[in-house]
Amino acid sequence: MITTEKIEFGDFQTPLDLTRDIAAFLRDNGVTPDIIVEPTCGRGHFVRAAIAAFPHVKAVYGFDINPQHVDEAGNMVRNMAGHNSHFECRNFFQIDWATFFAGLGETILLIGNPPWVTNSALGAIGSLNLPEKTNFQGRNGFAAKTGKANFDISEWMLTRLVEALHRHSGCMAMLCKTATARKTLRHAWLNKLNIGRCSLHLIDAQRHFGASVDACLLILHTGMPESNTTACVYPDLSFDGKITTIGLAGKELVADMNEYSRMRDIDGIPYYTWRSGVKHDAVGIMELKRENGHFTNGIHEEYQLETTYLYPLLKSSDIANGRTTPTRYVLVTQRKPSDDTAEVKETAPKTWAYLTAHADALDKRRSIIYRKRPRFSVFGVGDYTFSPWKVAISGLYKNCRFVVVGEQQGKPIVLDDTCCFLPCSSEKEARFICELLNSDICQRFLRSLVFLDAKRPITIDILNRIDLKQVAGHVNRVMDAEKCLSAAARFQEQSIASVR
Ligand SMILES: C[S@@+](CC[C@H](N)C(=O)[O-])C[C@H]1O[C@@H](n2cnc3c(N)ncnc32)[C@H](O)[C@@H]1O
């Protein structure tokens, strides 16, 4: 049974077989440590496998927050041939890793599998197994408010470990989610840490942990001043059959460095501003279907409502599957974030009564973005929300196709917050921009950037890299593009206000 405690401490021990394969793989590829360190050693499977692979190491250190695990790991290793071993019950977040590594002074192998749990999952169960408050990865208040600040605690742990180890001769070999491995590398590369060769070796997390996540063994070598900012990805614990080379381009990672290099001229100016759809965090209430002359909400209640604030809605699943005729509506209570929703009371009394009848649920919306905002507010609205035409893409699906979205019965179609879009003034403009975005060259560029295994593969940051003028150049449509792009800033003003 999976207990809350197991989740809180990411307590899923690595099977011994896998730890043995990993240790042997490192040994066979020239890793020669003097010291082995397992920062969250659990029951000690990695330590045991590493001692077997590197029988001549001088010392072994294992730490874990769980005292029973530490005892078990310590007893097991003491029964192996005479090693200088140190096992201690310690909280990772309270160890000064830089001082610890400095005291060891020899070639270190950091090996293990830190807990796979996100700070928001910990928040939900009221756990304090977190680092002290820190502006982790430099995320600002806005990112924190919109959920971008959600991170895996292993991401924090790996980042701290590389920072502490990077000036020493060493190797870090850690099991983690592939997204965590990438964030760790990005942090190390951006901060010019002394890391050399790096690679990701995919592992079957379903088979080994019963978890359907994309996971890998991240290997990076430290103490190398000549840092190169790429890492190869392999399908298994070998250096055969390379899948791709990921790397840093500007401040962001790209998924396929070779393809990206061929098309880097498209990485340029975002003439248009990409937008996210409307966020409301109350699907059951704010989204409705029209049936037999009334509206039915997600909790199967029927209401007569004015259509003033109801807009046809498309969601990620619609956009990803090319469905552009909406079958549901969303209540958009504001045209811009500063609008006072009290206006609804005057202009649409039935809608106001409906919102008031569900005030309990709406007032309880947890996201901080609704605090200090008018009651029943939505988020992510501005003139762009109501543009008559849009070119849209789903942020959640692996499908990189764009679709044109128009109006329905004279009302602009609104997208949900899992979609990204460009607002357009006319159908002609939208069709032209969509054609550029779906062109072979642009799709190849996009695929070189996108990590398809990410929770949200397509992001505004990625879309903002597409220089439509350059794309137009590749497909001989520069003149047409110039006309559109010179007018592309018209939905700009409102957006700045909405972010503030
Ligand atoms: C995914 S398990 C892996 C255990 C072991 N490394 C292995 O590979 O079998 C994560 C381990 O991290 C430990 N852990 C969780 N939070 C910790 C913390 N704050 N400090 C130290 N250990 C922690 C858990 O007790 C658990 O044993």
- What is the number of the ligand 1 atom nearest to the C-alpha of 114? 10
**Coil, helix or strand at residue 486:** helix
Q: Give distance in angstroms: CA of 176 to centre of ligand 1.
A: 12
Q: Is 38:174 a contact under the CB 8 Å cutoff?
A: no
Confidence of residue 81 (pLDDT cuts 50, 70, 90): low
Q: Give distance in angstroms: CA of 251 to centre of ligand 1.
A: 31
- What is the number of the ligand 1 atom nearest to the C-alpha of 9? 15
The angle that helices 97-104 and 153-165 make with each other, rounded to 10 degrees, is: 40
Q: In this model, does residue 427 exceed pLDDT 80?
A: yes
Q: Select from 8, 14, 45, 64 the residue to mutate for testing ligand 1; criterion: most ligand atoms less than 8 Å from CB.
A: 64
Q: Select from 5, 8, 9, 116 the residue to mutate for testing ligand 1; criterion: most ligand atoms less than 8 Å from CB.
A: 9
Q: Select from 38, 40, 177 the residue to mutate for testing ligand 1; criterion: most ligand atoms less than 8 Å from CB.
A: 40
Q: Give distance in angstroms: CA of 327 to centre of ligand 1.
A: 47
Q: Which residue has the higher pLDDT, 477 or 489?
A: 477
Q: Give distance in angstroms: CA of 39 to centre of ligand 1.
A: 8
- The distance of Cα 268 from the centroid of its chain, to the nearest Å, equals 23
**Which residue, judged by its Cα, is nearest atom 16 of ligand 1?**
9
Q: Give distance in angstroms: CA of 108 to centre of ligand 1.
A: 19
Q: Give distance in angstroms: CA of 394 to centre of ligand 1.
A: 36
Q: Is 12:114 a contact under the CB 8 Å cutoff?
A: no
Q: In this model, does residue 308 exceed pLDDT 50?
A: yes
Strand ranges across the sheet with 328-331: 302-303, 294-297, 287-291, 328-331, 310-314, 414-415
Residue 494 has a pLDDT of: 46
- What is the number of the ligand 1 atom nearest to the C-alpha of 92? 20
> Model confidence over 435-469: pLDDT tens digits?
999 999 999 999 999 999 888 999 999 999 999 99
Q: Which DSSP letter does residue 376 get?
A: T
**Coil, helix or strand at residue 98:** helix
The CA distance from 118 to 348, in Å, is 42
Q: Is 462:449 a contact under the CB 8 Å cutoff?
A: yes
Give me 113's structure tokens.
């599998």
Q: Give distance in angstroms: CA of 64 to centre of ligand 1.
A: 6
112-121, 161-170, 294-303, 489-498: least confident range: 489-498
Pocket of ligand 1 (CB under 6 A): 9-14, 38, 40-42, 45-46, 63-66, 69, 91-93, 112-113, 115, 129
CB atoms inside a 10 Å sphere around CB 226: 7
The CA distance from 3 to 117, in Å, is 13
Mean pLDDT of the chain: 90
Homologous superfamily (CATH) for 4-254: Vaccinia Virus protein VP39 (3.40.50.150)
Give the DSSP H or E segment for 177: strand 170-177
Q: Which amino acid is at 380?
A: G
- What is the number of the ligand 1 atom nearest to the C-alpha of 66? 25
Q: Is 309:287 a contact under the CB 8 Å cutoff?
A: no
**Which residue, judged by its Cα, is nearest atom 13 of ligand 1?**
40
Domain-wise residue ranges, the chain: 4-254, 275-499
Phi, psi of 237 (to 5 degrees): -80, 65
Q: Widest CA span of the chain, in angstroms?
A: 82
Q: Give distance in angstroms: CA of 200 to centre of ligand 1.
A: 21
Q: Give distance in angstroms: CA of 9 to centre of ligand 1.
A: 6
Q: Give distance in angstroms: CA of 180 to centre of ligand 1.
A: 16
Global confidence as pTM? 0.86
Residue 224 has a pLDDT of: 84
Q: Which residues pair with 35 in a beta bridge?
A: 59, 108
- What is the number of the ligand 1 atom nearest to the C-alpha of 41? 6
Phi, psi of 108 (to 5 degrees): -110, 135
Q: Give distance in angstroms: CA of 492 to centre of ligand 1.
A: 47
The CA distance from 476 to 470, in Å, is 10
Q: Tokens 């001549």 map to which residue?
A: 56
- What is the number of the ligand 1 atom nearest to the C-alpha of 91? 20
Average pLDDT over residues 329-353: 95
- What is the number of the ligand 1 atom nearest to the C-alpha of 14? 9
> Model confidence over 29-66: pLDDT tens digits?
999 999 999 999 999 999 999 999 999 999 999 999 99
Tell whether the torsion through CA atoms of 419, 425, 426 and 428 is positive or negative: negative
Residue 146 has a pLDDT of: 46
Confidence of residue 420 (pLDDT cuts 50, 70, 90): very high
Average pLDDT over residues 90-119: 93
The CA distance from 95 to 39, in Å, is 10
> Model confidence over 353-386: pLDDT tens digits?
999 999 999 998 878 888 888 999 999 999 999 9
Q: Give distance in angstroms: CA of 91 to centre of ligand 1.
A: 10
Give me 402's structure tokens.
């764009």
Please report, to the nearest 10 degrees, the dihedral formed by the alpha carbons of residues 275, 278, 283, 287 taken in order: -120
